[in-house]
Structure formats: structure tokens, C-alpha cells
Chain A
Amino acid sequence: MIATALWIALALFSAAIALNFYRAVIGPSLPDRVLAVDTMYMNSIALIVLFGIWVNNKDYFEAALLIAMLGFVSTIAVCKYLLRGDIIE
């Protein structure tokens, strides 16, 4: 039962990442692309966690936590740059 659910979830998250990539490529404005990349890292966290379930290894959790923190900080940094033209004033 878990194996089937794992495959379905992997397929759905991969499709979600493909849609995010499409938006990041065509996105008409800069905040659109930032939003698409932000969503892409959120989905990649879920993909890494699903891979950890697949190989039955708990250590992949740390990679997911690292991606979450760095992704948040980089999103805030790019937004700050778009707002003020500078990151640390």
C-alpha cells in the first residue's frame, strides 16, 4: 500500500516541479520567477523526503532541512534586492 502511494506522490510532485519550471521559464516578470523557484524548492523538499522513505533511510531529513533554510533566506534576499536595490544597507 505504501509503495503504491509513494509512486503516486512521486509522480505528482514531479509534475508539480515541471509546472514550476514552466512558470520560471515563461514568467513575464521577475517576482513571477522568484515565486516559481520558491515553490520549486518547497516541492524538492517533499521529493527528498519521499526518496528517504523509498530507501528507508532517515538521514535525508537533514538535507531537506538545509534546503528549507537556505531557500527561505535566498528568497528573502532576492525580494529585498527587488525592493530596495540592495540587500544589506
Chain B
Amino acid sequence: MLDMLLEGAIAFMLIAGGIFAFIGSLGLTHLKDFYMRLHGPSKTTTLGVGCTLIGSLIFFSLENGPVVQELLITVFAFITAPVSAHMLAKSALHHKLKPDPRTRGNPQELERDRPKHTVEEAPQGDSPLP
């Protein structure tokens, strides 16, 4: 009975992980600009891989006692995914990739009509910086 239940849990985890990873990659392929495409892999694929690893953890724990090594990859993936997403977003802003025109509000790095002036004729008074 308990084995049956645990096998059901493993099957659920594997299929849920596969579906999550597939949806993340679908978003990576179909969304419009880079800033939208960054969402799919950094959230959904991480969750999918985490689900698959937890299913594998339950599978190997069924036979010979509890196994916790697989948790290592899960924790590593959950820690490193935001860091790499942050670095990718920073490099995209540095390269000034075009956002979708329907995006409302631009970060300061992407403003098109940024004033170009030399140091001598710098505008006085109303600085946007605090």
C-alpha cells in the first residue's frame, strides 16, 4: 500500500517536472523579446528540474534507505538560477537589446533620447540622481 503510494508520488513528480520544463522551454521559444524570454527558464525550468530530482530522490530511497545526495543538485539549482538570470539581464541591458514596443516603462539604461553632452556643458541644477 505504502509502496503503491510512493510510486504514485514518484510518477507525479516525474511528469510534473517534465511538464514544467517543457512549458519553460516553450516560453523561451515563443515569447517576444529577451526580457520576456528570461522568465521561462529562470523560474519554470528550475522548478521542473527540482521536481524531477525530488522524484529521483524518492525512487532511490525506496530500495536502500534514505538518500539525500540528490537534494544537493536541487539546492544548487535553486541557489544559482537567480544569479545567472541576474547576470544575463545585466548583460542584456548593457547591450541595449530592444524591448517589445508594448512594454510600458523603460529602465534608465534603455532610454533612447538620453542627453548626450560633454563634461563642460553638463546641465546644471535638476540632476535626476539623489
Contact = CB atoms under 8 A, between A and B. Distances in A.
Given A19-B26, A76-B87, A39 B80 contact: no
State which size class the interface on A falls in.
35 or more
- Which of A5, A46, A69 has the most CB atoms of chain B within a 10 A radius of its CB? A46
Contact of A61 (B18, B49, B70, B80): B70
Main secondary structure of the interface of B (DSSP, over half): helix
Most A CB atoms within 10 A — which of B8, B19, B41, B59?
B41
Interface in B32-86: 34, 37-38, 40-41, 45-46, 48-49, 52-53, 55-56, 59-60, 67, 69-70, 72-73, 76-77, 80-81, 83-84
Contact of B18 (A2, A8, A39, A79): A8
Contact of B87 (A1, A65, A80): A80
Interface of B: 7-8, 10-12, 14-15, 17-19, 21-22, 24-26, 28-29, 34, 37-38, 40-41, 45-46, 48-49, 52-53, 55-56, 59-60, 67, 69-70, 72-73, 76-77, 80-81, 83-84, 87-88, 90-92, 94-95, 97
